[in-house]
Each structure stands twice: as C-alpha cells, then as structure tokens.
Amino acid sequence: MSAFQERQNEPDLSLSAIFVQLLNGLAAASSLFLVAAGLSLIFGVTRIVNFAHGSLYMLGTYTAYSLVQWFGGGIFGFWGAVLLAGLSVGLFGALVERLLLRRLYHAPELLQLLATFALVLVIRDFALWAWGPEDLLGPRAPGLEGAVAILGRRVPEYDLFLIVLGPVVLGLLWLLLTRTRWGTLVRAATEDREMAGALGVNQAWLFTSVFALGSFLAGLGGAIQIPREPAVLTMDLSILSDVFVVVVVGGMGSIPGAFLAAVIIGVLKAMCIGIGNVSAFGMEFSFSKLTLVVEFIVMAVVLVIRPWGLFGRAQGVPRGTASVEPPLSLPSPGMLKALAAALLALTLLPLVSDRYTLVLLTDILVFALFAVSLHFIMGPAGMHSFGHAAYFGLGAYAAALLFKYALPMELALLLAPLAAGLGALVFGWFCVRLSGVYLAMLTLAFAQIAWSVVYQWDAFTGGSNGLVGVWPAQWLSGKTAFYYLALVLCAGGALILWRILYSPFGYALRAGRDSPLRADAIGIDVRRQQWLGFALAGLFAGVAGAVYAFSKGSISPDTLSIPRSVDGLVMVLMGGIQTLTGAVAGAAVFTWLQDTVARQTEFWRALLGGIILFLVLVFPQGIAGFLRERWEARAGKRQS
Amino acid sequence: MTVLSVSKLCKAYGGVQAVCEVSFSLASGELLALIGPNGAGKTTCFNLLNGQIAADSGSAEFEGASLIGRKPRQIWRMGVGRTFQITATFSSMSVRENVQTALLNFHGKLNSLVSLAAYQYRDEAMQLLTRVGIAAQADRPCAVLAYGDLKRVELAIALANRPRLLLMDEPTAGMAPTERVALMQLTAELARASGIAVLFTEHDMDVVFAHADRILVLNHGRLIAEGKPADVRANRKVQEVYLGSGAVYGGAHA
C-alpha cells in the first residue's frame, strides 16, 4: 500500500481507488448487459436493429419509479415494482411486435429501423406527458441501503447486488437458450432463419416471444437503475448508443459476447472517470474527457481487428429475401423537363414568397443535399451509414472556424467541404472494411467520436455552446440573396451527385453493391470504389453543412449529433431509397413537418413519430417510390 | 501454345489434403474438364487458380506469370475471364450495361465521373451479346432474365477482357438439358474460334464427354487420371470412383 501511496500524485491512483472504480464499473456493466442482451436476442432472431430499445429501457425506469411510489417503499413494494416494471415493458414490447413490426417483416430491412425510430419519438413524448420534464430519482433499495467497507472505502451494497445480478442473468439466459425447447428454436432462428421456418418453426410466435423477452430485459435493466440514477427524458438515446456498442463489440446475436463487452466498457468508462487528469511527459491529459468516446474507440478497434465482434460470426446472406435493386435508367426527356421546371419554380419563388417561407426553403435545400449525399452511399453504393451527420457537422464547423479565425466568408464556404471530405476519407477507410449492420455501427461510432471532440474542445470549437457570429458576407446577408446561394450550391450539389451515378464511377459503385463477387471478377477494387464514394458523399454533406452554418449564423455540436444522423436516415427512407428523387422528397417533407408540427404542439415528437409510422405502414416503398409506382401503373395502362 | 501450366499445387484444410500435388497444363483453344466425385477437390483447385484462396505450395503460371497470391481482380487484368456456378451479375443494370461495365474497366475508363456510362462501348457490348446469342435481350434488366440466359450474360461479361483463359465453374449447373448442350456448344465454338483456353468443372458427364478435348479426374485431392474422353471413360480407376468397386474408400489407389 505505502509504495502506491508514495507515487500517488494529483489523481487518486491508489490501489483501493482503482478497485472501487472497478466495482463501480462492474455495477454499471450489469444493467448495460441486461439491455444489450435484449437487443442482441431481438436482432439475432428478427434481424431488426431496434432503435426503440433505449426507449424501452427508459420506460422501465419511469414505470418502476411510479410503481414504487404507488406500492410504498417496503421490500416487497420495491422489488415487486422493479419486477412488475420489467414485465409490463415486456408486454408492451410484445404488443409493439404484434401490432406494428409484424406488418413490416416483408418491407425492406431499413424500413423496420425507421418504424422503431418513430417509436422512439412517440415514447419520448409519452414519457414527457406522463412523468413531466423533471429528473426523478427513486428511493434506495430496501435491505440494501448500506455500504460495505472494502480496502478502507465504502462501496454501496446495491452496487454489489448489481455486480452479482449480471452473471446471474447471464446464467439464466444460458440455461434458457441451451436447456429449453424454446431456446433451441431461438438459436436455430439466429443461425438460419429461413431454415428454421422451413422446418416448421412458428416464426410469428417465436418473434413475438423473443421481442417480449428482449423488451423485458430492457425494462428490467432500466428498473434496477432507479436507486442509482435519476430517470431523465434523454436516457433513451444515451443508453442506446452504449448498448449498440456493447452488442457490436460482443458480436450481434451473442449473449456471452454482450456480457464480456458490457464488462469491458462499463469498467473502462468508470476507470476514465476515476483516473481524471493525469500529467505525463509534461502534458496534461484528461481521462474524464475520454469517457464520452472511450466505448466508441473500443468499438472501432474491435471492428477493425474482428469485423464481427468478439464472439460474433460472419452472417450468412439471407436466402430468398435478397431484394432486387431496381434498374437505374437514364431519365426520360419528360423527367428532365419536370426537373428543369422544378428548378425554374425554385428560382422564381422568392418573387412571391415571404421571408419565413424563404428561410424554410433554405433549410429544405440544405437538408435535401444532406439527404441526397446520404442516399448516394446508402442506395447505389449499398453502405448504410448511421453517422452521416459527422460530415455535415465537419463542414459546418470547418466553415465557422475558418471564418472566425482567418478567412473571408466566401473562401471559408468553399474550403469547408474539403475538411468534411478529408474526414470522410479517414473514417471511410475503416468503414469500407465492414458491411451491413457492422458498417452502420462503425459510422455511428465515428460520428460520436467527432461529436465528443467538438463538444469537449471548449477552447477551439466553443464546446457545448458552439460558435456564434458566423454570418454571411454583406452581399449575401439578405434572406433572398442567401436563398439563391443555397439554391446554387445545394441543388447544384445534388445534380452533380446524381450525374455521377450515371458515370462509369457510379456504375462501378452499383456493381460493387449488386454483386461484389462479380465486381471483383471483372477487376473492380470494390473496397477502393466504396471508399472514394464514401469520401465523395462526405464532401457534399460538408457543402450542405457549410451552407447551414452561414444560414443560421451559429452552430452547436447538435449539427453532428446522433439525432441529426437519424434525421438524415428518416429523410432518405421516408422518401424511398430506391429512387433518386426520394431523398429530396423526404428532406422536404421531414423539414417542413418538423417546422410546422413543432409550432403546433408541445408534443411535436409524438406527432412526427405518428406521421412517420403512418407513412411507413401506408407507403412502405417511400413517398417517391409510391408516386413512381402510380406513374408506372398509369403508363402501363395507357400502353395496353 | 501452353497458356496455363500448373505444377504440384497443394492446399490443406487442417489435416485434410483438399488438393494434393496436382499438375497439368492447358493449351490455347483447348477445352479441359475437371471432374471428380463430390469433395474431390475440384472447387478448391478452381479457387486456387482464380485467386479466391491461396495455395500452400506448388505453382500455377498463366502465360509465364504466376497466379499464386494474386487477387481475383489482378488475375482478371492478366487476361483471365471467369463464370460462376451460381450466376453473379449486376441485377440493377440491363444486360448490355453489365457487359459495358466490364468493358469500361477493360479499357481503363471506369473511374470517369463525367462521361455517360450507358453510351460507352455500346457497339462492342452488342457484338459480345450477339456472339453469345442474347442481343435481343440487351435492354432488359438482368433481374428478370431466365437462368439459361443469365449464364449467357455471364459468358459475355467474361469475354469482355478478351481473355486467353476462361475459368468456368459448373457452367451448366441449374440449366435444362437442352440448354446445357447449347451453352457448351457455344463455349466450344468461341474457344476454338478465338483460341481461348477453357478450364471447366462439371457434374453432367454428357456435357463433359461431348465437349471436352481432355479430362482431368480428381479424387481425394489427387489427380487419378488424365487424357482424352475415350481413354478416361475406359480408365478402371475412374470407373471405380464413379461406379464404385467396393474398395474405393478403403484405399484401392492409395
């Protein structure tokens, strides 16, 4: 002990301090594991990336809080409330699966994701309506209020209980999966869903029960948090990114993997908080600032070394469900005329519209280019990015910083996209090594890393406050002038991206998506092609970001946050991923909805979520996809 | 002229010798069939040559340059075309665009961001489609084609880099009997007319004995017979392997 104490300087690096942080981390890992195990089970069987899983966790916390209030704080009251909260969330999950997701199993995979995201919005506002915006901290757990002295420090008994709970749940799940008939079916379906179906497994029932169990675990994971952490409205998305990381690091579908990953990440996070600032070689280094990103760094490293996570296995290509991508043919003269007419209308619009409409239209233009650039990699290149806001934000911040520190506005606006493109080139190099959900998660990780750097680097980026005073040059300061600038840059950018899809480069991208095997056999370096495509999309997202920064006059870390990335996904999917114009339609509708709905009601998220759910259920092929289908049906009738 | 010469090629998975000391050569214009029962090592042998997997030892030279350790796309650049057991085409493109994409890469134009791909090498693509007999389908999306026609599209794509060697993995798998004969007939004509060497694996013995100039027979990773169809047909070892002698797996040849 004394040897340690002698070396101890500012930060508390004594053995006992490290040990206490270790216990703290293990306690946090247990809850993380419960939630992650649920997500992993659901993904393994249904192949749905459940964005609403964090919301189920949040519901668990709030429900447990209310039930404890209702039952009173006795031993039975508390533990009964925790268990009942888990069970009711499980029941809720089963209902969601039966009433909503079941209708979408034949829709493209990404649409299910969109539906679960709409649920996030609805549940968030439900919590706001039911429990209000204040943080709610539950009572201590009866029977475990005290603390135990370990190495001269006091460790809460409840933490020790949690540390035991994790392995116990792992053991129970293991028994359930290996010793019961139901568990065998779950494992069979995780391994090969089509074969399980062909062997007569009742998939509908299996999916519902897996969803119920997964939701129960999420709810329970939330419920056991009430003595440790307050229930807050933002906990849905914050736990979600943690849980995504855990599941991906452990390997999607692997329960032991999720446990190991939860422990690694829980402990690392606690350690980063515990160590605090360390000075080494004359440099001050803050470990606590690492807390926000450490898990994403772990994930990036793991994915680069083991692309399917620690315990995961390469996923077989699902049989029979492989969606055939629609042909991309050159636009007909009629469509080109329609496009020209639309551009002309946009050019003439300032003559008749008011200031408010112009600002909204500028926003729509910005997000249209953002969505088109995301569609460029998601559609034709087949890379699903969950972190596209990183490049939008990099463009916005680069523009603001260049403007604030050195350059005139025009030059900053021109150079900023290069910074975004460079960022995409660096991040993309890692991302194109993966595919499918893993690629999506790695893009998310990079976006989160970029966000946390911006969020914490107060001296340079303004930290959480962001940067203000990012105004356009004098000649562009009018709303009309700026609208024209946005029109030229954003519409121009979208047209360039579309045009590239018809070039040989675009064909090579599609070739890599359609059949990597064939592409390789005709000499295409698919990875390199995807990498360049990724960078190109990042560059144009950066253009949108730079225009956005000057249109608002200020920027905050929100520009590259996860919700912004999800906005992009919603736009692309709502418009329909199979058509080029879909992204524009989605961006216009989404931006307009967000703007108008937000004005009408306090519960705009729920309304927006409801609208998305409605659109998903009625137009599973997206808005533009629906219109095209109608158009083709009419054209077909006329021909015959 | 010898196009491909393979010498003492070996590949083991764990303790299993999937391919063991296989040697053969192939001349231009020649159709060489690689046959053998399931698990004989045909596919492994094939994938060693096309860059999908790396050999443990031995050599494989195409026109004097080694194929070992090269990636499929590099092997394509050297002048080797290939078709797959299960067709692999670009389903979002029309038949002609599939061929055009291969042609664009062959002519080194695939990185252009400016030109319109649909108008590049149109005539050359049409010539190739005419050669394989599906010019009439040129504008249809690949996704709606009948399987036999898809096989022909693959052949057209494989011819785009003007290959001197064609590697065809089970070229007639999944096709109707009449289509099989027609496709192999076409392949043989193309090979002889353009002096392309063809190495193919095949399960259908009618196809093999009707069209191959020479046959290699693999069993348990080793070459057990090689020669003209008539000789191979008469070979006792081959008959044992295919028809059974009761002692095949006991090690009659080992």
Q: What is the pLDDT of residues A583-607, one digit of tens each?
A: 999 999 999 988 887 777 788 788 8
Is the pLDDT at B100 greater than 50? The verdict is yes
CA dihedral A482, A486, A492, A493 (to 10 degrees): 140
> What would the pLDDT profile of A512-565 be if each residue is shown by its tens digit?
998 888 999 899 999 999 999 999 999 999 999 999 999 998 899 988 888 889
Show residues of chain B in contact with A331, CB under 8 Å: none
Q: Do B105 and A523 touch (CB under 8 A)?
A: yes
pLDDT > 70: what percent of chain A?
93
Helix (H) or strand (E) holding B246: none
> What would the pLDDT profile of B163-173 be if each residue is shown by its tens digit?
999 999 888 88
Which residues, 6+ apart, have CB-to-CB distance to A614 below 8 Å?
none
Residue of chain A whose Cα is closest to the Cα of B82: A521
Is the pLDDT at B207 greater than 90? The verdict is no
What would the mean pLDDT of B62-85 be, rounded to a whole number?
A: 90
Q: Which of residues 179-238 of A touch B (CB under 8 A)?
A: none
Which runs of consecutive H residues, i.e. helices, occur in A355-503?
355-378, 389-405, 409-431, 436-456, 458-461, 479-486, 492-501
> What would the pLDDT profile of A375-409 be if each residue is shown by its tens digit?
999 989 989 898 999 999 999 999 999 998 888 88
Helix (H) or strand (E) holding A589: helix A582-600
For A197, list phi and psi in degrees, rounded to 5. Answer: -65, -40
Residue of B110, B128, B150, B155 to mutate for A, most A C-beta atoms under 10 A: B110
Q: Which of residues 524-563 of A touch B (CB under 8 A)?
A: 524-525
Report pLDDT for B155: 92
Q: How far apart are CA A374 and CA A389, in angstroms?
A: 9
Show residues of chain B in contact with A509, CB under 8 Å: none
* Min distance B203 CA to chain A CA atoms (Å): 23
Is the pLDDT at B253 greater than 50? The verdict is no
* Min distance B166 CA to chain A CA atoms (Å): 12
Report residue A283 CA to chain centroid gap. 34
B112 contact A CB<8A = yes
Indicate the pLDDT class of residue A220, thresholds 50, 70 and 90.
Answer: very high
Size of interface A-B (CB pairs under 8 A): 108
Q: How far apart are CA B60 and CA A83, in angstroms?
A: 66
Is the pLDDT at A16 greater than 70? The verdict is yes
Which residues, 6+ apart, have CB-to-CB distance to A181 below 8 Å?
none
Report residue A259 CA to chain centroid gap. 21
B90 contact A CB<8A = yes
* Min distance A450 CA to chain B CA atoms (Å): 29
* Min distance B155 CA to chain A CA atoms (Å): 12
Indicate the pLDDT class of residue A7, thresholds 50, 70 and 90.
Answer: very low
What would the mean pLDDT of A435-456 be, rounded to a whole number?
A: 84
Is the pLDDT at A151 greater than 70? The verdict is yes
In this complex, the residue of B94, B105, B111 whose CB is nearest that of residue A522 is B105
Q: How far apart are CA A367 and CA A373, in angstroms?
A: 10
In this complex, the residue of A329, A506, A522 whose CB is nearest that of residue B102 is A522
Min mean pLDDT across A541-550, A569-578, A613-622 is at A613-622
Report pLDDT for A313: 74
In this complex, the residue of B74, B90, B120 whose CB is nearest that of residue A518 is B90
* Min distance B130 CA to chain A CA atoms (Å): 20
Average pLDDT over chain A, rounded to an integer: 86
Domain ranges (residues) in chain A = 11-134+153-305, 357-587
Q: How far apart are CA A498 and CA A481, in angstroms?
A: 26
Contact call for residues B63 and B79 (beta carbons, < 8 A): yes
Report pLDDT for A637: 66
Q: How far apart are CA A267 and CA A22, in angstroms?
A: 6
Q: What's the CATH fold of domain A11-134+153-305? A: ABC transporter involved in vitamin B12 uptake, BtuC (1.10.3470)
What would the mean pLDDT of B211-234 be, rounded to a whole number?
A: 88
Show residues of chain B in contact with A324, CB under 8 Å: 91-92, 143
Report pLDDT for A285: 66
Report pLDDT for A316: 54
What's the token pair of residue A546? 């730079």
Residues facing B22 on adjacent strands: B9
The three-state secondary structure class of A374 is helix
Report pLDDT for B176: 84
In this complex, the residue of B84, B97, B104 whose CB is nearest that of residue A517 is B84
B137 contact A CB<8A = no
Q: Do A505 and B113 touch (CB under 8 A)?
A: yes
Is the pLDDT at A625 greater than 80? The verdict is no
End-to-end CA distance of chain A: 90
> What would the pLDDT profile of A277-306 be if each residue is shown by its tens digit?
666 666 666 777 777 778 888 888 888 888
* Min distance B86 CA to chain A CA atoms (Å): 11
Report pLDDT for A138: 82
Residue of B83, B85, B113, B139 to mutate for A, most A C-beta atoms under 10 A: B113
Report pLDDT for A367: 96
pLDDT > 90: what percent of chain B?
37
Helix (H) or strand (E) holding A251: none
Indicate the pLDDT class of residue A11, thresholds 50, 70 and 90.
Answer: low
What would the mean pLDDT of A137-148 be, rounded to a whole number?
A: 80
pLDDT > 70: what percent of chain B?
95
In this complex, the residue of A500, A514, A524 whose CB is nearest that of residue B110 is A524
pTM for this entry:
0.84
Residue of A514, A522, A632 to mutate for B, most B C-beta atoms under 10 A: A522
Q: How far apart are CA B95 and CA B118, in angstroms?
A: 11
Report pLDDT for A581: 86
Q: Widest CA span of chain B, in angstroms?
A: 66
* Min distance A529 CA to chain B CA atoms (Å): 9
B139 contact A CB<8A = no
Average pLDDT over chain B, rounded to an integer: 87
Indicate the pLDDT class of residue A500, thresholds 50, 70 and 90.
Answer: very high
